[in-house]
C-alpha cells in the first residue's frame, strides 16, 4: 500500500528542514479527506493512481514470429551466399582439373612444382626436378592447386 502524505505536511516538513533549530514535524497519523486517492487537494490537483501502462509501450499480442524472422533472415542469406560461392569454386576447380594436358607446369597442394607428363582418368604423372635429376610422381587430379602455364598465358 502506498504511503500518502498531504501537501500541507510536506510543506511543513520543508519549512522545518530550512530552520535547523526547529523540531521536525510528523505527518498526521490519520489521513484526512485531502489525502485520500481521487480527492481534490489544496492546489486543485487530484491524487489518482497512474494508469498501469503509463510510459511503456502497449503490450503486443504478437506471437514473436516477426522478431524471429528478423533474426533468421540474415542467417538464411548467409547460408545461400555460402552455397552459391561454393558452387562457383567447385565449377572453377573442375575446369582447372579438366584443362590439364601434357607439358603444363603445375603446382600441387603440397607445394611441389613440376611438369605434367601424362593425364589419366583420375591421376596425373608429374615430373619433379631438373632434367638430369628428375623423378616422375603420380598424383590424383584433385592434388593440383594451380596450372602455372595458364597463369603465364593470361599475364
| pLDDT at residue 28 greater than cutoff 70 | no
| pLDDT attached to residue 16 | 59
- Torsion sign across C-alpha atoms 80, 94, 122, 128: negative
Q: Is residue 129 part of a domain?
A: yes
Q: Is a pLDDT exceeding 90 seen at residue 84? A: yes
Per-residue confidence (pLDDT) for residue 42, from 0 to 100: 57
If 0-12 CB within 10 Å is exposed, 13-18 middle and 19+ buried, where does residue 117 land? middle
Residue 8 lies in a domain: yes
Does 20 reside within a domain? yes
Per-residue confidence (pLDDT) for residue 78, from 0 to 100: 96
Query: How many domains is the chain partitioned into structurally?
Result: 2
Task: Report residue 71's pLDDT band, with 50, 70 and 90 as the boundaries.
Answer: confident
Residue 55 lies in a domain: no
Q: Determine, yes or no, domain membership for 113.
A: yes
- pTM exceeding 0.85: no
Output Rg (C-alpha) for the chain, integer angstroms. Answer: 43
Cell of 53: 501502462
DSSP 56-115: SPPPP---SHHHHHHHHHHHHHHHHHHHHHHHHHHHHHHHHHHT--TT-EEEETT--EEE
User: The domain containing residue 109 runs over which residues?
Assistant: 96-154
CATH number of the domain encompassing residue 128? 2.30.30
**Looking up cell 599475364, which residue turns up?**
155
Q: CA of 18: how far to CAs of 1, 27, 71, 103, in Å?
A: 30, 17, 57, 102
pLDDT digits (tens, 9 = 90+) for 115-148: 999 999 999 999 998 878 889 999 999 999 999 9
> What is the b/e burial string over 67-99, where b = at least 16 CB atoms within 10 angstroms of the residue's CB?
eeeeeeeeeeeeeeeeeeeeeeeeeeeeebeee
Q: In which band, very low, low, confident or very high, does the pLDDT at 32 lie, cut at 50, 70 and 90?
A: low
Residue 112 lies in a domain: yes
38 part of a folded domain? yes
**Residue 130: its pLDDT value, please?**
82
- pLDDT by residue (tens digit) across 10-23? 666 666 556 555 45
Amino acid at each position: 500500500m502506498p504511503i500518502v502524505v498531504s501537501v500541507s505536511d510536506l510543506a511543513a516538513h520543508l519549512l522545518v528542514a530550512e530552520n535547523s533549530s526547529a523540531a521536525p514535524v510528523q505527518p498526521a497519523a490519520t489521513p484526512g479527506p485531502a489525502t485520500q486517492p481521487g480527492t481534490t487537494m489544496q492546489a486543485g490537483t487530484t491524487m489518482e493512481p497512474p494508469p498501469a501502462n503509463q510510459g511503456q509501450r502497449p503490450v503486443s499480442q504478437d506471437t514473436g514470429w516477426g522478431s524471429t524472422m528478423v533474426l533468421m533472415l540474415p542467417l538464411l542469406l548467409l547460408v545461400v551466399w555460402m552455397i552459391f560461392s561454393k558452387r562457383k569454386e567447385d565449377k572453377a576447380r573442375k575446369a582447372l582439373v579438366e584443362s590439364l594436358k601434357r607439358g603444363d607446369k603445375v603446382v600441387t597442394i603440397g607445394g611441389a612444382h613440376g611438369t605434367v607428363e601424362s593425364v589419366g582418368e583420375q591421376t596425373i604423372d608429374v615430373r619433379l626436378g631438373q632434367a638430369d635429376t628428375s623423378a616422375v610422381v603420380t598424383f590424383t587430379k584433385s592434388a593440383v592447386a594451380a596450372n602455372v602455364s595458364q597463369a603465364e598465358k593470361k599475364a
